[in-house]
Structures are given as structure tokens and as C-alpha cells.
Amino acid sequence: MSTMKRLVVILLFDGVDLLDVTGPPEVFSLVRRELNGSSPAYRVVLAAETPGPVTTAAGVRVLPDTTFEEVAREGIDTLMVPGAVETDGRGRVRAVTDPVVTGWVKTLAERPRRIASMCVGAHVLAAAGLLDGRRATTHWSTARQLAAEHPAVRVDADPIFIRDGEVWTGAGISACLDLSLALVADDFGEALALRVARQLVMYLKRPGGQSQFSVPLEPVSATRRVEELRHHILRHIAQPLTVADLAAHAHLSERQLTRVFTSELGMTPSAYLEAVRVELARRQLESTDATLERIVSVCGFGTTDTLVRAFRRRLDTTPTEYRRRFRAATG
């Protein structure tokens, strides 16, 4: 196993999310401990436009190690780009990009072996033209903005991180730890990344395809009718529910039901049914020894093939692999 020191550069700028700056170095520092080495496997530096302190979104000031200009002359292994947001008076969130930072990302991107964005940092990569033609994710709250402003990017708001070639994009805030662990696994293998996850007391080193959302825990719907339907689905999930069944229960036509679900939950009734079933199956796989056949029955999938296809579609993995990863991370 190679212990060549890799230079990781994390960009700093005013308003940046603090965890996106401090989380990855914690992951990379633990690699040294797990390798029992006297020198770090990674050298992490924070780079900003000037040497002065940067004020993060949390109000904490951080002092950069170097400047963009200085680090541009070094051999960068991994360039990590966090993001920043602004909110209006009604709590709506919008990703913001600084043209100066975007310009430096374009310049610095010519040097690294790989590039990674954390949370809304995907907007910076997109503004720099680095996501054109690629599949990418970001925090769910700004995914529509990313898709609208950069139509050449194939935005997928569901996974916690995505790798497309040597460009990686991560989802909301704490997912920077999952992304960093994935980078470690890419460099040193899955077993070492899992040991680092244990040191971080992370409940599970999650596969990239895992959803950002826990469907039954999503915010309540705007209308009582849809909220009652959501509870009806959970109470009868083991049954072979169909869109027609739900429409009849709600005294709506199927077209009306689809319009209401799409408006309030951002997905069709059939997609919501599948999402709930996958979420419940995930919990079964994580916390029980139930067979796949039992999980199929309890969660209403009908057949094992349907369960497997749903996992591949939503989590980019299989139920067996999902359980294996969970057991490995917590055993």
C-alpha cells in the first residue's frame, strides 16, 4: 500500500460553510493513525485569495495556509471546493458564487489528479465549466437552481455523492465526510476507509448512491389530504398498493392525485411509494437479520427482483451489498 503524501487543497472564501472546510481534514488526518505511519498520507492546505482571515458562514474566522496564486505552482493531488449560500427573508436558500473564486478554480483545475465539490460547491464547479456533460449532485435545496442555471449538467439531487470520471460532487454539508471517506477508499482501499469511519464514530460509511433523504421523515405536506395519504401508505405498505388505490382512497382521479403529489412532494405517487419501500427496506437491512424474502413481504415489493431493481435505481447498489457495507462498518 502506497503512503506517498498527497497534497489536498481546500478553497477558502468569505461565507463558506465551516464543516466543508474542517470536515475533510479530520478524515484525512485519521488515515495516518490507521496506517501507523510516522508521516501523513495527505498534506492538507487551506488556500484563499489573500493571506488574511476568512469569515465562514458560521461566523468563525479561519486563517488560510497559502494563497490561490502560491498553491497554483504546486503539484495538487486533490482540489476540494466548498460552497456558500444566501437566504432571503422567507428562508429560501440560494447558492452564490464569487467570480474571482470561479476564475481561480478554472486555473487550479488544470493541475489536480481529481476535483471534488462539497455541498453547494458544485455551483462553483458548474460556473467554471467543469461539470458540463457530467452527472453531479449538490445540496437538495439548491439542486433546481443548479439545473436551471447550468442545463449542460445532469443534476441528480438524490445521492450523497457522485463520481463522474475524476470529478466528484457531494451533497449537503455532513456528506462532505462521506465524500472524503470515498476519496480515502479510492486511494487506499475500502477496508482502510471503514476503519477511519469507525474512528469518526460514523454510524455507517454510506455508499455514494444512498439518498440524501429519509422519506418517512420528510417535512409534512402542505395539505391534510396528502399528509393523511402518506400515513395511509405507511400503514398499508405491505399491501400491493397502486396509484388507483390511493386515488380511490383520496376521492381523486389518478391525474389529480399525480398533480397534487408532484406539487407537494416533488414526485409522482408511484415514485413516492417506491421511495418509502426502499427506505423501510434499508432500515430492515441495517437493523435486522431478516431475509430478502421477508423484507420483500414486509415492504410490499412483491418480488425480490423488484426490490433489487428499486435499490439499483435509487441507491446504485444491491440490498445484499448495502447490508454487507453496514455490517462491515459497524461490526
Residue 125 has pLDDT above 90, yes or no: yes
Q: Let me know: does 131 contact 125? Beta carbons within 8 Å.
A: yes
Domain boundary among 144, 165, 199: 199
Percent of the chain exceeding pLDDT 90 equals: 60
Last residue of a domain, one of 199, 230, 254: 199
Q: Are both 138 and 233 inside the same structural domain?
A: no
- Same domain for 107 and 232? no
- The answer as to whether 207 is a domain residue is no
pLDDT of residue 222: 57
Residue 209 within any structural domain of the chain: no
Cα separation, 285 vs 307, whole angstroms: 12
Amino acid letter, 176 = C
Max CA separation in the chain (angstroms): 68
Mean pLDDT within 253-257:
94
pLDDT tier at 210 (50, 70, 90 boundaries)?
A: low
Phi, psi of 38 (to 5 degrees): -85, -15
Rounded Cα–Cα distance for residues 143 and 89 (Å): 20
Asked whether residue 156 falls in the same domain as residue 245, the answer is: no
pLDDT band at 211 (very low <50, low <70, confident <90, very high): low
Establish if 251 belongs to a structural domain: yes
What is the mean pLDDT of the segment spanning 34-53? 89
Domain that holds residue 319: 215-330
Residue 290: per-residue pLDDT: 92
Q: Is residue 205 part of a domain?
A: no
Q: Are residues 187 and 224 in the same domain?
A: no
Secondary structure class of 34 (helix, strand, coil): helix
The residues, ordered by sequence, that sit 6+ positions from 330 with a Cβ below 8 Å of its Cβ are 203, 204
Is residue 217 scored above 50 in pLDDT? Answer: no
Mean pLDDT computed over 47-72? 96
Q: 194 and 219: one domain?
A: no
**Same structural domain for residues 128 and 33?**
yes
Domain co-membership, 144 together with 269: no
Percent pLDDT > 70 in the chain is 89
- Residue 150 reports pLDDT greater than 80: yes
CATH code at position 69: 3.40.50.880
Shared-domain flag, residues 237 and 120: no
Higher-confidence position of 80 and 264: 80
Q: What's the rounded mean pLDDT across residues 308-331? A: 74
Catalytically annotated residue among 41, 119, 246, 329: 119
Domain boundary among 199, 229, 259: 199
Q: Is 119 a catalytic residue?
A: yes
Checking if the pLDDT of 183 tops 80, the result is: yes
Higher pLDDT, 200 or 61: 61
In a domain, 77, yes or no: yes
Q: How far is CA 175 from CA 71, 117, 162, 207, 210, in A?
A: 26, 11, 11, 11, 11
Q: Does 190 share its domain with 94?
A: yes
CATH of the domain at 325: 1.10.10.60
Q: Identify whether 204 is part of a domain.
A: no
pTM of the model: 0.67
* Average pLDDT, integer, range 108-123: 95
User: Do the domain assignments include residue 109?
Assistant: yes
Residue 117 and residue 148 in one domain: yes
Mean per-residue pLDDT over the chain, rounded = 87
CA dihedral 286, 287, 293, 295 (to 10 degrees): -90
Whether pLDDT at 10 is above 90: yes
Residues 143 and 227 in one domain: no
Please write the tens of the pLDDT for every residue from 218-241.
545 557 778 888 889 988 999 999
Asked whether residue 208 is domain-assigned, the answer is no
Tally of domains within the chain: 2
Asked whether residue 190 falls in the same domain as residue 290, the answer is no
pLDDT category at 273 given cuts 50, 70, 90 is very high
